[in-house]
């Protein structure tokens, strides 16, 4: 597919993105197969929007985020940032794209160099990307630290001198330093104490409002996603199986896998009775995914056609995109 048109260009367009990891065996390390971590994923994210990717661990959501940012090479597909081809960019164009597209990792401790003060770490990024020089570097470092709820003197401290929540604020400040427009937030609160998770979520929301940021928010926690997201994409075995506007998704999920995920969220109102859908079996190996619908080995509604025909992600009248033969019967 070609680049989106110049009018109403989404901030990010992902088209048929694929990331396969080779499986090597034997003394000669021959490639004997592939793990299809991301397998034909397409979606758009518009300016100021938070698009959440959800699914169980290993479904490919983090690999999708990293492949979009070229932290790992894509096997195929296309990514456009404001109409610019990300996967084909090089030189000055790629340098510009790297400034505009940042990531906040799950584990703030391993995301920071333990031997550098946070001021030195953020300053290095500013210099490498020629965002600031000389005295401006310190000014900018202190500005982003304060903007993220820290103090300017924190720039002299090392990562181990911070609490987990403060470290995640440092990681967010580092992402913010280059003045990005698009941020991949990859499970940004799952390594933190529950008591401080909401502070980081509030910070991400404040920054989004202040700087018109667009987020790809990756999470396995559907309660947090309900709070953060504008639209939700559900991944299973490297594929998107449902995409919907948040309210519609939580009101009436259409894919059986989405229904099972949502049935597991606790409800705060004790008068509301909710039936938990227990899925049978484990997630199949992405190295050897099932034929037809990838969910057919666990789906409570499986039909014969599901075992042989792969359902396409198609739009419904309510605006959901769903990959399921129940919703879009094969004719």
Residues contributing to the site for ligand SF4 (CB under 6 A): 255-256, 293, 295-296, 299, 301-303, 306, 311, 324-326
Please check whether residue 54 is in contact with residue 220, taking contact to mean a CB–CB distance below 8 angstroms. Answer: yes
Closest separation in Å from C-beta 315 to ligand SF4 = 16
Minimum CB distance to ligand SF4 smaller for 224 or for 237: 237
Closest separation in Å from C-beta 323 to ligand SF4 = 7
Closest separation in Å from C-beta 181 to ligand SF4 = 36
Q: Where are the beta strands (DSSP E) in the chain?
A: 12-25, 30-45, 50-54, 76-81, 84-85, 101-104, 182-186, 214-218, 231-236, 239-245, 314-315, 321-322
Minimum CB distance to ligand SF4 smaller for 94 or for 326: 326
Closest separation in Å from C-beta 303 to ligand SF4 = 6
- Maximum distance among all Cα pairs of the chain, rounded to whole angstroms: 68
Closest separation in Å from C-beta 292 to ligand SF4 = 7
Minimum CB distance to ligand SF4 smaller for 103 or for 313: 313
Minimum CB distance to ligand SF4 smaller for 172 or for 299: 299
Minimum CB distance to ligand SF4 smaller for 122 or for 293: 293
Minimum CB distance to ligand SF4 smaller for 69 or for 323: 323
Closest separation in Å from C-beta 93 to ligand SF4 = 41
Torsion angles phi and psi, residue 91, rounded to 5: 60, -135
CA-to-CA separations, 40 to 64, 77, 245, 280, in angstroms, rounded? 10, 7, 21, 26
Q: Where are the beta strands (DSSP E) in 26-150?
A: 30-45, 50-54, 76-81, 84-85, 101-104
Please check whether residue 142 is in contact with residue 173, taking contact to mean a CB–CB distance below 8 angstroms. Answer: no
Q: Record the tokens describing residue 205, joined without a space.
A: 């929301």
Q: Record the tokens describing residue 152, joined without a space.
A: 């300017």
Alpha-carbon span 249 to 179, nearest angstrom: 32
């Amino acid at each position: 597919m070609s680049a989106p048109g110049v009018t109403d260009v989404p901030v990010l367009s992902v088209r048929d993105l694929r990331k396969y990891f080779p499986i090597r065996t034997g003394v000669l390390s021959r490639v004997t197969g592939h793990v299809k971590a991301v397998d034909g994923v397409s979606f758009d994210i518009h300016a100021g929007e938070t698009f959440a990717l959800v699914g169980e661990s290993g479904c490919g959501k983090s690999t999708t985020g990293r492949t979009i940012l070229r932290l790992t090479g894509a096997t195929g597909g296309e990514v456009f940032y404001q109409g610019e081809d990300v996967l084909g960019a090089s030189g000055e164009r790629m340098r510009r794209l790297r400034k505009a597209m940042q990531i906040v990792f799950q584990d703030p401790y391993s995301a920071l160099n333990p031997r550098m003060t946070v001021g030195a770490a953020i300053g290095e990024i500013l210099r490498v990307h020629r965002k600031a020089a000389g005295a401006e570097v310190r000014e900018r470092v202190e500005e982003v630290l304060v903007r993220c709820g820290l103090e300017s003197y924190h720039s002299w401290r090392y990562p181990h001198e911070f609490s987990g929540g403060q470290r995640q604020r440092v990681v967010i400040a580092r992402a913010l330093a280059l003045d990005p427009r698009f941020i991949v937030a990859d499970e940004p609160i799952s390594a933190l104490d529950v008591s401080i998770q909401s502070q980081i979520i509030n910070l991400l929301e404040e920054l989004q409002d202040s700087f018109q940021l667009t987020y790809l928010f990756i999470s396995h926690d559907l309660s947090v996603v309900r709070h953060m997201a504008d639209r939700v994409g559900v991944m299973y075995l490297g594929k998107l199986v449902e995409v919907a506007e948040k309210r519609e998704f939580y009101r009436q999920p259409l894919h059986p896998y989405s229904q099972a995920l949502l049935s597991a969220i606790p409800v705060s109102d004790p008068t509301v009775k909710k039936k938990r859908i227990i899925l049978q079996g484990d997630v199949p190996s992405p190295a050897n995914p099932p034929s037809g619908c990838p969910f057919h080995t666990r789906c409570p509604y499986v039909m014969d056609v599901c075992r042989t025909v792969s359902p396409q992600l198609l739009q419904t009248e309510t605006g959901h995109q769903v990959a399921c033969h129940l919703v879009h019967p094969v004719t």
